Amino acid sequence: MIPVKILDETAPLEAVILGTAISFGGTPKLENTYDPKSRYHVVNGTFPTEAYLVDEMSEVAAVFSKYNVKVYRPEEIKNYNQIFSRDIALVIDDKLIVPCITPLRSKESDGIQYIVDQVEEVLLPGEDESMEGGDIIPWEGYLFVGYANDEDFEKYQVARTSRKGVEYLRKHFPNWNVKAFELNKSDEDPRENALHLDCCFQPVGKDKAVIYKGGFKNVKDYQFLVDFFGTENVFEITKEEMYEMNSNFFSINPDVVISESSFTRLNEQLRKWGITVEEVDYREVAKMEGLLRCSTMPLRRTYD
H runs (alpha helix) in the chain: 36-43, 50-66, 85-88, 113-116, 150-155, 163-172, 219-229, 239-243, 264-272, 283-286
Which amino acid does the sequence have at 88? I
SS3 content of the chain, % helix, strand, coil (to 5): 35, 25, 40
Helix (H, G, I), strand (E, B) or coil at 220: helix
DSSP state of 127: T
Q: What is the CATH number of the domain that holds 187?
A: 3.75.10.10
**Overall size of the chain counted in residues:** 304
pLDDT in tens, the chain (304 residues): 999 999 999 999 999 999 999 998 899 888 888 788 888 898 889 998 999 999 999 999 999 999 999 999 999 999 999 999 999 999 999 999 999 766 667 789 999 999 999 999 999 999 899 999 999 999 999 999 999 998 988 998 888 999 999 999 999 999 999 999 999 999 899 899 999 999 999 999 999 999 999 999 999 999 999 999 999 999 999 999 999 999 999 999 999 999 999 999 999 999 999 999 999 999 999 898 899 999 999 999 999 8
- On whether residue 47 sits in a domain, the answer given is yes
H runs (alpha helix) in 16-112: 36-43, 50-66, 85-88
- On whether residue 6 sits in a domain, the answer given is no
* Structural domain boundaries, residue 296: 13-301
Q: How many domains does the chain have?
A: 1
- On whether residue 79 sits in a domain, the answer given is yes
- On whether residue 7 sits in a domain, the answer given is no
- On whether residue 242 sits in a domain, the answer given is yes
Residue pair 136/169 in contact by the 8 Å Cβ criterion:
yes
Question: How far apart are alpha carbons 227 and 234 in whole angstroms?
Answer: 9
Question: How far apart are alpha carbons 235 and 189 in whole angstroms?
Answer: 24
Question: How far apart are alpha carbons 163 and 180 in whole angstroms?
Answer: 9
pTM, full prediction:
0.95
> Mind giving me the DSSP string for 222-242?
HHHHHHHH-GGGEEEPPHHHH
- On whether residue 3 sits in a domain, the answer given is no
Q: What is the pLDDT of residue 102?
A: 65
- On whether residue 256 sits in a domain, the answer given is yes
- On whether residue 77 sits in a domain, the answer given is yes
Question: Which of these, 2, 44, 9, 4, lies nearest to 27 by C-alpha position?
Answer: 44
